[in-house]
Amino acid sequence: MNAAPTIWSGANRFGRESTRARERVLGGSGLSDVCMAAVWTPAKSSSPLGALPFVRRFKPSEIEAATSGFSTALETGGPRGTAYRARFADGLVATVRRAGGGDPEQEGQEGAFYRELQLLGRLNHRHVVRLRGFSEGHNRFLVFDQMENRSLKECLHDPLRTPLNWRTRLQVAIDVAAALEYLYYFCDPPVFHVTVNSSNVMMDADFVAKVSHIERIQQRRTELVFQYGVLLLELVTGQSPGGGDGDLVRWVQEPGFAGSMQRMVDADLGGTYDAGELRDLVIVARLCTRQGSGTAVVSIPQVLRYLQGKVGDKNR
């Protein structure tokens, strides 16, 4: 088997990115830094929200009207509450999610709601689902950008949907890595937790991937890298991972995995993919899911630069 590509050189420089690198992650211009500074600068306010200048406060009546009396449910129940498709009077099409669970008057619920708003309201990245606004009152709601193509999980596993092509899958891998780099290496303080799986990666109308369901639960970066590797395997094979240490991880860690690589590719691709890119993506997944030392072999920034370089080389 050929040697694995070198993607871990220069590890010490990640975490102290230059201003130019920061601009690249935030969107490529100084304007992004100005916007981020505005979001992050606390203002003196009696409100528990502090300063969230780019997050809109909706009236409960606006939420009810936009969801046609809460008759447009996209999903119901679950730990993240019920979600609705909403069309507001100004033309904004969004997803409205009932915040939290249980009695909103219960002790601690209000504080948890405002902490979630503070966390989500300061995030500003192309590959993170954007919080548009919120509504207070007896029932609290969060308003997010509408993701027309729903979750990556549905795109990969719904038999009634057109399969994602290879270029889209490769771009999803890059987009998710870019979002994770932003959340864990550029946010100050860093975002604590994102469960990286196909249910939490949303797809907009142009099949641009955006990470969602961001929380404050403490998470080690080794777990983040492992989950990302499992997601890569799901993109390549079209198979559900079946648990954090399922068949896909066991396969890619086998010494002879390269010999069965072609057989593991998602049949929905119809054989239309770049063999070199396939090999690169699978080897990255292998490195990400390698366990035993307690320390990840690679970091998300290293993976991102490597994959961006490969795609850039193909486009030149």
Q: Please provide the CATH number assigned to the domain covering 21-145.
A: 3.30.200.20
Question: Can you tell me the mean pLDDT for 122-133?
Answer: 93
Q: Model-level pTM? A: 0.80
Question: Can you tell me the mean pLDDT for 11-28?
Answer: 39
What's the confidence (pLDDT) of residue 218? 64
9-34 CB burial, b ≥16 within 10 A, e <16: eeeeebeebeeebebebbeeeeebee
- 149-315 falls under which CATH superfamily? Transferase(Phosphotransferase) domain 1 (1.10.510.10)
Q: Is residue 245 helix, strand or coil?
A: coil
Domain 21-145 matches domain 149-315 at the CATH topology level? no
Question: Can you tell me the mean pLDDT for 39-50?
Answer: 43
Confidence grade of residue 94 (pLDDT, cut at 50, 70, 90)? very high
**All structural domains of the chain with their residue ranges:** 21-145, 149-315
Give residue-wise pLDDT tens across range 170-195.
999 999 999 999 998 888 777 767 88
C-alpha span between 59 and 107 (Å, rounded): 23
What's the confidence (pLDDT) of residue 35? 31
Question: Can you tell me the mean pLDDT for 150-176?
Answer: 96
By mean pLDDT, which of 5-19, 116-130, 264-278 is the weakest? Answer: 5-19
Check: CB of residue 308 under 8 Å from CB of residue 21: no
> Which residue blocks in the chain are alpha helix, DSSP H?
19-26, 30-40, 60-66, 109-121, 152-157, 166-181, 221-237, 247-252, 261-264, 275-288, 300-315
Give me the phi and psi of 203, to 5 degrees please. Answer: -120, 125
What's the confidence (pLDDT) of residue 275? 93
- Comparing 15 with 128, the larger pLDDT belongs to 128
What's the confidence (pLDDT) of residue 281? 96
DSSP 107-147: TTHHHHHHHHHHHHHT---TTBPPEEEEE-SSS-EEEEE--
